[in-house]
Amino acid sequence: MLEFHESDAGEQEAQVPLGDSFEISLRENPTTGFRWKMHAGAEPVCRLTEDEFQPGRLPGAGGIHRWRFLAAKAGETRIRLSLERSWRQDAEPSKTFSLRVRVDARS
């Protein structure tokens, strides 16, 4: 399975065969108020199959937010996420993550 992390931040591109899955994993610390927000989903080309946060081992420590997608239809899509505080609508995001996905039909 293809995996994308914070080190892949920026304008990334992925080619995923139809029917395969891929995952985006980004560090997050909800206790600071910063949460990843999805601005551009992947439907109908990719379907979100899992969205989970795995907390760290210590109270108040950050953890990892994971999104798993299934390449459901041939085509192209873009997934855009930003790390922001929900109550600060006018503030710039702390971080952003963008992934362009091209789903290819299997030969």
The 3 state secondary structure assigned to the chain is CEEEEHHHCCEEEEEEECCCEEEEEEEEEHHHCEEEEEEECCCCCEEEEEEEEECCCCCCCCEEEEEEEEECCCEEEEEEEEEEECCCCCCCCCEEEEEEEEEECCC
Question: The whole model's pTM is what?
Answer: 0.87
Q: What is the pLDDT of residues 16-69, one digit of tens each?
A: 999 999 999 999 998 888 999 988 778 899 999 999 999 988 887 899 999 999
Q: How confident is the model at residue 91 (pLDDT cuts 50, 70, 90)?
A: confident
Domains in the chain, number: 1
The CATH number linked to 91 is: 2.60.40.2020
Residue 107 has pLDDT above 50, yes or no: no
Residue range of the domain that includes 79: 2-104
Tell me what pLDDT residue 65 has: 96
Tell me what pLDDT residue 92 has: 79
